[in-house]
Structure 1
Amino acid sequence: MNIAWKEIRKNKVRFMILGSIIFLVSLLTFIISGLANGLSQDNAALINNLPNGQFYMTKDAEGSYNLSRIDQSIQHRVLSEQKNAVAFSMQMGFIIDDANKQRSVTFFTSTHSNIFENVKKGEIILDSSLKNEGIRIGDTLTNNQFRGKFIVKAFVNQKKFSHAPVAFINMDDYKEIFGAKDMQLLYIPGADSDQKFAGLQTLSKKRFLNTIPSYKAEQMSLSMIVLFLVVISGLLFAIFFYMMNVQKIGLYGILKAIGLKTSTLFKMMWTQMIIITFIALALSAVLSQVFNLIAPEGMPFHLTTETTILLSLVFIVIGFLGATLSGFQIKKIEPMQAIQQGEM
């Protein structure tokens, strides 16, 4: 530890350059991860916030919830057999406010349950993002396919689907707007994949999220960027310590000649890696959490402490592997040969 710290103080510029690079890479990784989580919430908070369970759609829908139609006899049987089961439907649409301004929403309706909002006929409950756009409780909203009017009864937080705020409406009002007689999906919280029903396809929450248009593409693209940044950080550690080790072959030879073990040299290198990584990650984690607090309200950014800690641990592991990989050359150093090479 003492030797490692002395070398850091002696070669401050070199280690500061490495620390700065790790700081920037980790900060960028945290921010992109926050954007990925934010987009996930903006795209599917309605589903993300549900407890784990199983979704069911018709097999001939081929994984597209828009094409799924649950037969009413099957729906009745499942709801009667499964106490917490719920049938629901959702479609993209729009509402028109008192100022005749049109706003895109995802209309949502379900059978009575404790999971989703229960709405009376002629009422509507909206995601709170619409409150920021000037809509208030008691406002009257319309739709071109609806003969009546909707009265805004309440707002709920984190209820979005396909990047649109969710509008909870009564089943009869939903059927009038879309002319749909059957519900699209069944959901059983806490169920496992062993529960199957004739003619229905079983989907976990993760698999169902991937049926949402754009969700899988968004998450895969951002996850690949995060993965590449983590790999790049590992390569940076390997290259940096490799160059440092090449320059210190003579020194390592002398240390080995006076009886210093190879394991001790590895520990010195690991200590340096941990010190640099810890400082860089601490700074980037603090800044990313500050950004999480001050990010504009409309920006889909959500970075949890758990995600920050997990990514930090990944960086430490990758840094350890990168430094260790570069350090294998230390094991091969022969004292006399290294000393002679250092003299040249």
Structure 2
Amino acid sequence: MFLALNEIRYAKLRYTLVIGVMFLIAYLVFFLSGLAYGLAQENRMAVDKWEADYLLLSDKANDSLNMSMIDPEMIEQVEAKEKALLVQAPAIIYQVEDQDTKENVSFFGIDSQQFITPNIIEGELFSKKGEVVADISLKKSGGYSLGDQIKISMNDEKMTIVGFTDNAKYSVSPVLYTSLETIQQVRYGEMAEKQELRVNAIITRGQITEKPDGLSKIAIGDFINKLPGYNAQVLTFGFMIGFLVIIAAVVIGIFIYVLTMQKTAIFGVMKAQGISSRYIAKSVIAQTFFLATVGVFTGLVLTILSGLVLPETVPFQSNLPFFAGISLLMIVIAIVGALFSVRAIVKIDPLKVIG
């Protein structure tokens, strides 16, 4: 390490450029990772919030929540530790006082006495017909607040926001929780009272020991993977990030190799003086470790700071354990890339170099 650090002090500009390249690639990797993780979370937040184990859907729905229609009375035939009814309905809402602020949302109709009832961070839980609890993102980025009246664009039904919850997004859309009675208004408007209630799913905690015919059981993890676009998005970002990590390692490996070849004469003299190839190789690896660590750590710090100033609408989320894993992977692969330089050092013949 002594030789590695002294060489970096001697050639500050050269090694600053190496660190700069590593920093830029690391920043790109971390930023894309934050976007990928944030976007993935916004698809599944509301589902994770249930802390459930299984969903029961209509066996004709092909594991799609939107396509499933179930008689709510079927819940009495389901045997599980805890169970809850869910009605899901996509909609477009706008403020009564400002029709230009339209938002794509997802309504969740629930029984407030069942376990999927959301936590309240502002206001109170709905208790009357026409009241809703909204995800806090509608307040932060949409300009909605407690007491605001909203309208459903497809039928002009009015509702009132009485509370806010957190971490409630489904397929990237903010979720509005409401009663089973009110969700009928969302679906059918003025015709709500004439329509029979149909739920989309029965959600359970614990093993399902008995269920009626006509329902299929799907684990929460499998359900999330089958959300529209979720799996393709995760795989796409995963491949992008993986390739960027490999590219970062190759780039720093090439830099170290080129620098090693430029110092062939110096290494030859050092060998002639009795300094072993092993000692020189250790210095090169230590140097690579230092350069990669500084570049990656700087990129990580800037990524976290960037996340603090990004607009609320950008789906960026920092996941420190995930970032730590990527950091370790980039440093390890960079050191593996530097091993090619070690091979070149071992082959240096002091007599040929000195002439």
Give TM-score scaled by structure 2 length.
Answer: 0.82
Q: CA deviation at 1:106?
A: 0.5
Opposite residue 246 of structure 1, the aligned amino acid is: M
The DSSP-based 3-state class of the residue aligned with 2:14 is helix
Q: In structure 1, what is the Cα distance between the partners aligned to 2:209 and 2:258?
A: 58
Worse-matched range after superposition: 93-102 or 163-172: 93-102
The residue type equivalent to 2:323 in the other structure is: T
Q: CA deviation at 1:88?
A: 1.5
Number of positions where the alignment pairs a residue of Structure 1 with one of Structure 2: 335
- CA shift for structure 1 position 26: 0.6
Aligned pair partner of 1:183 in 199, 220, 238: 199
Deviation at 1:258? 4.7
User: Which among 265, 279, 298 is matched to residue 294 of structure 2?
Assistant: 279
Superposition deviation, residue 2 in structure 1 = 1.0
Residue aligning to 1:301: 316
Q: Give yes or no for contact 2:86–2:202 (8 Å, CA) kept in 1.
A: yes
Asked whether the equivalents of residues 65 and 211 of structure 1 are also in contact (C-alpha less than 8 Å), the reply is no
Does 154-163 or 61-70 show the bigger shift?
Answer: 61-70
Q: Which stretch of the first structure deviates more once superposed, 125-134 or 226-235?
A: 125-134
**Aligned residue number for residue 335 of structure 2:** 320
Residue number in structure 1 paired with 2:92: 94
Aligned runs of 1:251-266 on 2, under 5 Å?
251-266=266-281
Q: Which amino acid aligns with 1:279?
A: V
Deviates more, 1:241-250 or 1:313-322: 241-250
- 2:322 aligned partner, one-letter code: T
Q: Distance in 2 between matches of 1:154 and 1:142?
A: 16
Structure 2: gaps of 5 or more residues = 119-124, 188-194
Deviation, structure 1 residue 256: 4.2
Of the three residues 225, 233, 239, the one matched with 1:210 is 225
1:107 aligns with 2:116: no
- Asked if 1:122 is matched to 2:137, the reply is no
Could you tell me which of 142, 148, 161 is aligned with 2:170? 161
Q: Residue 141 of structure 1: which of 144, 150, 155 is its match? A: 150
* Equivalent position SS for 2:302: helix
Change (3 A) 1:292 1:180: farther
Residues 127 and 157 in structure 1, CA contact (< 8 A), matched pair in contact too? yes
Q: SS of the residue aligned with 1:66?
A: coil
Q: Does 1:84 align with 2:85?
A: no
> Which region of structure 1 is more displaced relative to structure 2, 58-67 or 166-175?
58-67
Percent of aligned pairs with the same residue?
25
How many angstroms apart in 2 are the aligned matches of 1:135 and 1:6?
59
Cα distance in 2 for residues equivalent to 1:52 and 1:174: 22
Any gaps of 5 or more consecutive residues in structure 1? none
Is the CA contact (8 Å cut-off) linking 2:71 and 2:197 kept in structure 1? no
Q: Which amino acid aligns with 2:172?
A: H
1:53-88 alpha-carbon deviations (Å, 9 max, x no partner): 33343443223221223454653232xx32323231
Once the two structures are TM-superposed, the CA of residue 234 in structure 1 deviates from its matched residue by 0.8
* One-letter identity of the residue aligned with 1:127: D
- The answer to whether the Cα contact below 8 Å between 1:196 and 1:202 also exists between their aligned partners in 2 is no
CA distance in 1, matches of 2:73, 2:160: 32
Q: Which residue number corresponds to residue 250 of structure 2?
A: 235
